[in-house]
Amino acid sequence: MSANAEPREGLVIGGHRFVPMIDAAAIAAAVGRLGDEIRASFGNANPLIVCVLNGAALFHADLIRAIGGELEVDYLRVGSYDGGMVSTGRINFTAAPGTSARDRNVILVEDIVDTGRTADHLRRYYQHKGAASVAVAALLYKREADITGHPPEFLGFEIPDRFVVGYGLDYQQQGRNLPAVYVLDAGGAA
C-alpha cells in the first residue's frame, strides 16, 4: 500500500482496531470550504493563523493554502491527552507562540475540539494578549463532549464522541500521517 492509500477495511494502531470515518476527498472538500469561509470573513485583514501542534499541522498546512491571500502564521503546542484516549482536563502549554497578537484577528487552527477546554484556554490567552478577535477553525467537533458551549466558528465536521485518528490526530503518536480520519472500532481491541 502506498503512503497515501487509505485502508478501506480498517487498521490496527497500538493494539486497537480503527475503521474509516471520513475519507481524504471529503476532508479536502471541507478544507476548501473553510478556506473560502475564512477568506470571506477576514478579506484582506491579514489574519494570524495559529496552528495548535501537533495534531493540527496537516490541517493547518492545507487550510492556509486554501485561504490564500495575505495572512501570517504562528505555531504553539499544548496538550491534554498525555498519550491516552481521554483528555486529562489539564492543559499543558509546552511551546508558546512567538508572534504578537495585539490588534490582530487570530484564528486558532485545531484538529479537534472535544471538551472545548483547550480552545477556550487559548481564546482567553489571545484575548489577554490584546487580539482584536479570536476565532477557532476545527476540522472536527464533538458537540456532545463539549462542556464549554463554545463551538468552533469555522467547522469541518461534527462527529460523535468517539476516539479518532488520522490526518494529524494520533494514538500514542501513531496514525498522524494517514490521509483520512478513522474511528475506534466499537469492538475496540484488534
Q: What residues are annotated to the active site?
A: 114
Q: Which three cell numbers stand for residue 72?
A: 501570517
Burial of 8 (0-12, 13-18, 19+ CB in 10 A): exposed
CA 114 vs. chain centroid, Å, equals 10
Q: Which of 99, 91, 59 is nearest to 75 (CA)?
A: 99
If you compute the radius of gyration of the chain from its CA atoms, what whole number of angstroms results? 16
Rounded distance between C-alpha atoms, residue 80 and residue 183, angstroms: 19
Residue 45: name the closest of 2, 123, 104, 88 by CA: 104
The residue behind cell 475564512 is 38
Question: What is the SS3 assignment for 60?
Answer: helix
Answer for the pair 159, 21: CB distance below 8 angstroms, yes or no: yes
8-state DSSP, 102 = T
